């Protein structure tokens, strides 16, 4: 998992590539129905380590980026496969929607300057969930034991 550069200026497009160089598939959570959620997480360097950031991405409405605080019951996503010797590409424009207690749409913000890295939780296998008849919010197929892979560190100036 790597970005295309180690340093970006304000507003640059950050390109993220996740490669599966294994000879077996890996599995991760995807959110195809929720455009403001993505398969990766973002962490910011702090004095005592890394902090996971909690935000959503902007939605596109009538050709413009807009933030809407859509409160999902539980955004569970779906298990997606990354086949052997394949890759995911994602482009991010550094714009985020901080979680706010507002009901009206608002403008996305450029993320603060600093040192960051992407994180991806993945599994080498999937498991069939139990109890979905009484708990319909549970994914029918879930990730097995998960591991986390991190991208290189990068700087947003």
Domains of the chain by residue range: 2-151
Q: Residues 6 or more apart from 66 whose CB is under 8 A from it?
A: 58, 59, 60, 105, 106, 107, 108
pLDDT for residue 48: 92
Say if residue 112's pLDDT is above 80.
yes
Q: With 80 as the cut, is the pLDDT of residue 12 above it?
A: yes
Separation CA 69–CA 100 (nearest Å): 7
What would the two tokens of residue 150 be? 């991190």
Select from 77, 151, 70 the least CA-distant residue to 104: 70
- Single out the residue of 70, 73, 17 nearest to residue 40, CA to CA: 17
In angstroms, the CA 80 to CA 77 distance is: 9
The answer to whether 92 and 16 have CB atoms below 8 angstroms apart is: yes
- Region 91-118 average pLDDT: 92
Q: Is the pLDDT of residue 34 over 90?
A: no
- pLDDT confidence of residue 97: 93
| Cα radius of gyration (the chain) | 17
Q: How far apart are CA 146 and CA 31, in angstroms?
A: 17
Can you tell me the distance from the alpha carbon of 76 to that of 149, in angstroms, rounded to the nearest whole number? 20
| pLDDT-based confidence at residue 74 (cuts at 50, 70, 90) | low
Report which secondary-structure segment, H or E, holds 103. none
Q: What is the pLDDT of residue 73?
A: 56
With cut-offs at 50, 70 and 90, classify the pLDDT of residue 38.
very high
């Amino acid at each position: 998992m790597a970005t295309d550069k180690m340093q970006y200026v304000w507003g640059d497009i950050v390109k993220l590539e996740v490669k599966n160089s294994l000879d077996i598939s890996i599995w991760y959570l995807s959110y195809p129905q929720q455009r403001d959620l993505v398969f990766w997480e973002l962490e910011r360097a702090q004095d005592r380590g890394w902090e996971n950031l909690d935000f959503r991405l902007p939605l596109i409405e009538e050709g413009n980026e807009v933030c809407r605080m859509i409160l999902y019951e539980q955004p569970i996503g779906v298990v997606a496969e990354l086949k052997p010797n394949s890759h995911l590409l994602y482009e991010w424009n550094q714009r985020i929607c901080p979680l706010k207690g507002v009901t009206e749409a608002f403008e996305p913000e450029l993320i603060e300057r600093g040192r960051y890295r992407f994180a991806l939780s993945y599994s080498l296998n999937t498991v069939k969930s139990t109890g979905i008849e009484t708990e319909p919010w549970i994914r029918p197929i879930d990730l097995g034991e998960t591991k986390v892979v991190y991208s290189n560190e990068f700087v947003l100036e």
